[in-house]
Chain A
């Protein structure tokens, strides 16, 4: 099997002395949207951080283009891979455009000279995320969905093919959640971006991701096409709930309806 651009070998991650992820072998399929799902505290966010070299593995490696990511210059990694952490913060008064410009940081030299290319990508990122008209607004004045789009725009300005997002839809209402997810879908379809996202809503994962990885107790319980792996067993084993899985007639997308908490977790 051909190697993806981003994969792990024997990856073990610890916080303090707690083992979060154990000897994980994982491939992130190129050009697809991958959803990392699992319970709170199952290690999916930790895994995402390690994939973005923000966390040093205890054992094993994350590989980017065949090289151990921790050994690559961090600035070079930032040109290949962008990460949007959970609930990022910006100082008061920063404009959307000011934030998006920060995305060009890895491409600048010591004296911060901006090229015409930098400017072009910033403008493109603002347009791709439908933030162009709001570019002069204070970030803190925007709605949750708009703000999240602004952060996505910053990550896009990095000009990377790989985009990692940690719970990009948290704290957003339903419409704003879809607003962000549809943006990601568009970026994947039109720009061929490889996207990895941690999501809580399984139905969102099934609807927008072509690949799903279910994590439980530091290991992968199942991975594959959502329609194939999203089963009542997965819901029971990974999330500890009894659920019905229905296949939506029109789209062929599975929808889960949890109805009862399993006794033993």
Chain B
């Protein structure tokens, strides 16, 4: 039943179970460690009563880390499949940058903008950027996947420049915007959990259903159309899902980078290219990386918190270089 060479269903099961156990372990540690020292007894007590410091602050934070990781990793996997470009990711093709720009405008230019509405602005910015990328890469009857990746990179660069311009222009008040841009889970609450979990659910369901479409899209376009897929509609639908996944995660946690880019590759190295195995593996590894990054960021030099997005990049960048060096002899 192997669809791909080097794909091990047994290995997949081991990786999934192992990662989930590790994630549970990390979550427990993350609940215990923090600025205010607590004991395990207190953790259990708070969880049981659904009250207190741990329930109010640390549980939502861990949940958000998990959901953000899942969303970013799934968004990246889907984007890489749809564009057939191994370098596609929400933070590369402008979706994250769009969310970032919208939030930075709100933080700096419109200081009266209510803090609680920031996620909405970020989500709107991400969706808007996604739409621009789509329409620019659209040509008669559908998008060209190669063009989509290139357009995204160009738009991302432009938007990043605007963000930098704003930060320079409002240098005195830029601290909050900078932390936000690095992607932080500081002071996140249950309200934020409610903003992201429905998107994670939708993304997860799509991942369960659409893996066959994603697998098929890896073949050349004429073959795919010959097999009766409405390719433009399928691509659009998948892009919408990945924009929603990335946008909702940018909305609650800022522009956390590298998860969407690196995790799909790591998953592919572990279980092969079949999206049936790739998507769940990506989701779990993404959750693991963001949870770990947030935990590391909180405990390495208290009371200062290193934003989780910075840690993912610190862990992700060397790993990505390692991947590139390893595959230098191969195609890309």
Contacts and interface: CB of A to CB of B under 8 A. Distances in A.
| SS of B interface (majority) | loop
Given A88-B220, A91-B219, A91-B273, 9 more contacts: A73-B228, A74-B225, A74-B229, A75-B229, A78-B226, A85-B222, A89-B220, A91-B218, A111-B209
A106 B228 CA distance: 6
A102 B331 contact: no
Interface of B: 2-7, 141, 209, 211-212, 215-216, 218-220, 222-223, 225-230, 272-274, 331
B227 A105 contact: yes
A220 interface: no
Contacts of A138: 5
A225 interface: no
Nearest to A166: B222
Contacts of A49: 222
Nearest to B218: A91
Contacts of B227: 78, 102-103, 105-106, 158
A1 to B, nearest CB: 29
A54 interface: yes
B84 to A, nearest CB: 9
Interface of A: 49, 52, 54, 56, 73-79, 82-85, 88-95, 97-98, 101-103, 105-106, 108, 110-112, 136-138, 158
B308 to A, nearest CB: 33
Contact of B216 (A97, A105, A111): A105
Kindly list the 6 A-B residue pairs having the minimum CB-CB distance in the complex, ordered from nearest. A78-B228, A98-B3, A75-B228, A85-B222, A106-B228, A83-B226
A79 B227 CA distance: 8
Q: Chain B CB within 10 Å — which of A52, A102, A136 has the most?
A: A102
B141 to A, nearest CB: 8
B226 A85 contact: yes
Contacts of B5: 93-95, 136-138
